[in-house]
Amino acid sequence: MSTAAPDPKANMGQPAPRYDAVAKVTGRATYGADQKLPRPAYAWLVTSAIAKGRINGFDLADANHVRGVIEIITHENAEKLKTAKLFSDGGYASTTIQPLTSPTISHDGEILAVVLAETLEAAREAAYRVKVDTTAETPTASFDSPGAATEAAKGKSAQFTEDPKVGDFAKAFEQAAVKISADYETPTQHHNAIELFATSCVWNGDMLTIYEPSQFVYGLKNGVAEQLGIEPDKVRVISPYIGGAFGSKASMNARTAIIASIARRLGRAVKLVVPRDQGFTTATYRAETRHSVSLAASQDGRLTALRHEGWEVTSRPDNYLVGGTTTTTRLYACPNIESKVSIVHADRNTPGFMRSPPEVPYLFALESAMDELAVALKIDPVELRRINDTMVEPIDGKSYTSRSLMACFDEAAAAFGWAKRNPQPKSMSDGDWLIGYGCAATCYPTMMAPAAARVRLHRDGAVRVEIAGHEIGTGAYTVIAQAAARRLGVPLERVSVEMGDSNLPPAPVAGGSNSTASTCSAVAMVCDQIRERLLKATMPADSLVDKAKSTVGLGQTPTEQAAKSDRPIDIEAAFDRLGVNVIEEFGEWKPDGAPLDSFRAMYKGQTRMVGGEKVKAGIAYAFGAEFVELRVNKYTGEIRVPRMVGAFAAGHIMNPRTARSQLLGGLIWGLSSALHEATEIDERTARYVNDNLADYLIPVNADVPSVDVILLSEQDDKINPLGIKGVGELGNVGTNAAVCNALYHATGQRIRKLPVRLEKIE
């Protein structure tokens, strides 16, 4: 695997090294739990050992005997916090299940008590000595458990109002020359970011400061204020670095307001670091899904009918759902499409966003089914995608703003050596190993959201950018600095960026791969405002109007070309003329088609995301193609994946180095979802069994020998001023299908239930 930063191609920025690299490798980067607090009380959670039932009472005598215990909070003495509304219903929270409000237990590992002590060790020791007397009822664990309540997803969430449909699927399927139907299944997965969930709260008078790794500091600030019944202005959230999140730190967890309330009650700082096992139940996860897919085609491979039905598990009270049919019904040309999504309520904690939430499970089903159809048609799977490639999505007839799916397939196929593949299953081997080649498409909607930024340019050329964006490990500091440097024509080293603080101008949730497009668009726009002031100051009055119009970007006009054609600005002269040492500009940017209340919502910590099939210019997606070589030992069934190749096109690439890193990580996570990851649930007790990194399998270096990432040049002037599509979640979509397709090619065995493990090989 080559580790060099790729050379930029057309429409790509420089592969600048990470802005935060030195701070991270030298330990200077301060994560949530690193914050030094004045005399903190340490909190430890007591969580439920049953998934359904009620608390009869607590025996705290033993716990209170531990030296250093300050107080134990249960539903009997906790402050009654206001119930939080779900993120997808216009609220801030990842769950409406609010612990410490009643004796009812709704899921495994629910918070039943919080122990406060002078030391971490005392808090933990006392927590283990808390005795909870409960009455258990039989819980519903998952799809097949008694009490599972299935209902149509349509209309249950603001994000999913319609099951996409066009033409007459039933008739077309019946009449089709070639058809396949199959059922697929994906397991429960937990994010397992290396940085644990942590919350520290400090009150200064009526001002609350929260140190917590967060993908959305404005959301958390407003959400906690609402739960505590205080003004949002009284809350500040600080989160400059995040050690992995993947969606798990995007919406507010119940623990934050609880810790804030306890800190207020004790009149001192409180610090909580949630251990890994408790993170499985007090935060969110990717719920298990089921799929039924039917595809039909004419003999020449043109799709004539497509049906995708999905089922997703959620908690008893909440309607969290991902609804991936929005994407799978629009990926290929097809005149007759039907789809349906159902949610299945069980006695579980509420699931939530996990990297490419809809696409990972739903494209597993569709891209596996496409491979099955290719086999039935005796057509090369790459060619099947080509035959059904389209610039117009079939549901609403919208045009893709750009689409390089087949270019990705062709580049990746060439780099992989797809031409060497003998299409016959079980036809390729090397000693004891059967060899299979498989491929799949990936796609991810282009998302954008309103963002604000403040930029200061100093006389000496130093630039300061302030924006409440989030560095979740993706390279956000770096690309934002690049956007400012390029726009202002200053060297990258002169730019400093401040992020992850709710006192800064608001940025959207770092989710849906929208951050680069949103924050860089806002920063570029504000830099243009500075350029405009400088230009005005240095230009003779008569040329001012024309010059400003023709070369300086205003609002949403693409100004890359303006930036290039402009004469260099003499900053010293401009500052002299203006009689200042610093120029500061502030601006609010929103994507085309953002609703009228977007800016107001932005300050309230609500993201009005515009993306995918809802962009003004048509339908906007990034695309890619992934190829996998898989080997299965003929005798032991051992599975190895010696190499993966992915080619991706995502509009303007701000930084090929950080983009490659995102896609590389994505491919590896995709491999993980195919071969390793699953949270095991005890069907009888509705409890997670492998809630630790010893038993929750993820790939190690030996599992990932060679991964190649190819970045394609793609220009899209329709989506946003910089033409950015986002790459954060593109890499791990489809990989699971590519692995299973390769497994079929190697062995002739089709595995439709993830993860694929040795015991499933016949």
Tell me whether residue 357 or residue 506 sits nearer to ligand MOS (CB atom). 357
Site residues, ligand MOS (CB under 6 A): 215, 246-247, 250, 353-355, 357, 511-512
Tell me whether residue 8 or residue 244 sits nearer to ligand MOS (CB atom). 244
Tell me how far the alpha carbon of residue 322 is from its chain's centroid: 12
- The answer to whether 278 and 109 are in contact (CB under 8 A) is yes
Look at residues 334, 395, 388, 325 and name the one whose alpha carbon lies nearest to residue 166. Answer: 395
For 691, which DSSP code? -
> How far apart, in Å, are the Cα atoms of 6 and each of 1, 411, 637, 664?
12, 15, 36, 12
Selecting among 411, 471, 613, 729, the annotated active-site residue is: 729
Tell me whether residue 443 or residue 552 sits nearer to ligand MOS (CB atom). 443
Alpha helices per DSSP H over 329-467 = 359-377, 381-387, 405-416
Tell me how far the alpha carbon of residue 60 is from its chain's centroid: 41
CB of 309 to ligand MOS, least distance (A): 23
Burial, 311: exposed, middle or buried (Cβ in 10 Å; 0-12, 13-18, 19+)?
A: buried
CB of 601 to ligand MOS, least distance (A): 18
Tell me whether residue 187 or residue 512 sits nearer to ligand MOS (CB atom). 512
Tell me whether residue 449 or residue 504 sits nearer to ligand MOS (CB atom). 449
Tell me whether residue 301 or residue 511 sits nearer to ligand MOS (CB atom). 511
Residues paired with residue 760 on neighbouring β-strands, in sequence order: none
Tell me whether residue 41 or residue 250 sits nearer to ligand MOS (CB atom). 250
Parallel/antiparallel/unpaired status of strands 178-186 and 289-297: antiparallel
CB of 350 to ligand MOS, least distance (A): 15
Q: What separation, in Å, do the N-terminal and C-terminal C-alpha atoms of the chain show? A: 32
Told to judge if 729 belongs to the known catalytic residues of this protein, a careful annotator would answer yes
CA–CA dist 355, 193 (Å, integer): 12
Tell me whether residue 353 or residue 477 sits nearer to ligand MOS (CB atom). 353
Tell me whether residue 40 or residue 247 sits nearer to ligand MOS (CB atom). 247
Residues 398-401: contacts with CB under 8 Å, at least 24 apart: 398/613, 398/618, 398/619, 399/618, 399/619, 400/618, 400/619, 400/620, 400/621, 401/446, 401/615, 401/617, 401/618, 401/619, 401/620, 401/716, 401/718, 401/719
- The answer to whether 281 and 254 are in contact (CB under 8 A) is no
Look at residues 414, 270, 348 and name the one whose alpha carbon lies nearest to residue 710. Answer: 414
Give residues with Cβ within 8 angstroms of 129, minimum separation 6: 62, 63, 65, 66
> How far apart, in Å, are the Cα atoms of 247 and each of 102, 511, 604?
28, 7, 20
CB of 673 to ligand MOS, least distance (A): 13
The verdict on whether omega for the bond into residue 755 sits within 30 degrees of 0, i.e. cis, is yes
For 653, which DSSP code? B
Position 420: which residue type? K
Look at residues 591, 595, 619 and name the one whose alpha carbon lies nearest to residue 326. Answer: 619
CB of 332 to ligand MOS, least distance (A): 24
CB of 353 to ligand MOS, least distance (A): 4
Q: Please, how many CA atoms are within 13 Å of residue 149, restricted to the half-sphere of its CB?
A: 11
CB of 263 to ligand MOS, least distance (A): 27
CB of 186 to ligand MOS, least distance (A): 15
Tell me whether residue 357 or residue 505 sits nearer to ligand MOS (CB atom). 357
CB of 420 to ligand MOS, least distance (A): 36
CA–CA dist 639, 656 (Å, integer): 32
CB of 223 to ligand MOS, least distance (A): 16
**Which residue, judged by CB position, is nearest to ligand MOS in the bound state?**
247
Catalytic residue ranges: 729
